[in-house]
Each structure stands twice: as structure tokens, then as C-alpha cells.
Amino acid sequence: MGGGIILAVNQVHHFVITGRLQTFKRDIAIQLIELFGSHYQPFVSTNTTVLVKGFFSIDLFNVDNQSKKTIAAQQYDITQINEEDFILWVLYHLKHLSSNQEHQFIQRMKEPLSNVFLELDDCPDNQFISMVIFSLEKHYPIV
């Protein structure tokens, strides 16, 4: 699965995202990061613990081109993960929500995620989290 990097799930992370995510837009990823108790940063700093690397357009004239965030993450020796490893982190948290967290998740994420995964449209609240897990695992069948 992914790059094989497993993030500690019992600690608060400071995430930075570089590139384009395929599963959902950056704003949804940021909401998930914050909903699960971690922090999003728009730039790499000494506080950053994880860089999520999405996709970039190919530059035919500079195939070794790396984002400024990737270069900074290397300089600070920050953990770099791909989108699949980020999804694993999201899935872990989805499967371990308290009832209060489930309610918050449904309130904040039902509309944005229903726009991403069509099978979530008109999904009853009591099945929503299970269907999000199903949709993510279907999108990443190796999970």
C-alpha cells in the first residue's frame, strides 16, 4: 500500500499538502485533518510532521522538478507520504470515532463527501460513515 509509511495514529500531526489529490479536493482533506485532531499548515516549517505528496503536472523540460514544499520537507527530515498512505490514516480514524465524533463528522462532511462519492448521495445518517469507509476502500482496493 502506498509508500509503506505508517503514521502514528495516537499523536497530533502537523500536515502540509503538496500537489493535487485524486480522491478529493484539498479543502476536504484539510477538514478531515482538523476533524481528526491534527493541524493543517499551508507551508513547511519546523513544526511540520507530515508532508502529503499529491500529483504534479509533468514538466518535460525538468523531469526532476520537485515542489518547494518537498525540498523543504527533505531539509527538515519530515515524513513524506503519498495520498494512499493519507487515506489509510483517514480510514483508521473513521473506524475509531466516538459517537460524539461521528455526529460531528456527519454534520461537517456529509455534503462535501456526497459531492465526491455519488453513492453517498441520499445516504441515511446512520449509514454514512460506513458508506464513506466503503467508498474509500473501493477507491483504494488494497486497503
Number of domains in the chain: 1
What are the φ/ψ torsions at residue 89 (nearest 5 degrees)? Answer: -60, -45
**pLDDT tens-digit series, residues 55-91:** 876 666 665 678 899 999 999 999 999 999 999 999 9
Question: Is 73 buried (19+), middle (13-18) or exposed (0-12) by CB count in 10 A?
Answer: buried
**pLDDT tens-digit series, residues 4-57:** 667 888 899 999 999 999 999 999 999 999 999 999 999 999 999 999 999 876
3-state class (DSSP) for residue 89: helix
Looking up residue 135, the CATH number of its domain turns out to be: 3.40.50.10190
Q: Domain span at residue 69?
A: 14-139
Residue 7 lies in a domain: no
Phi-psi region of 4 (alpha: psi -120 to 50; beta: other; left: phi over 0): left
Residue 54 lies in a domain: yes
pTM of the model: 0.89
Alpha-carbon distance of 55 to 66, in angstroms, equals 11
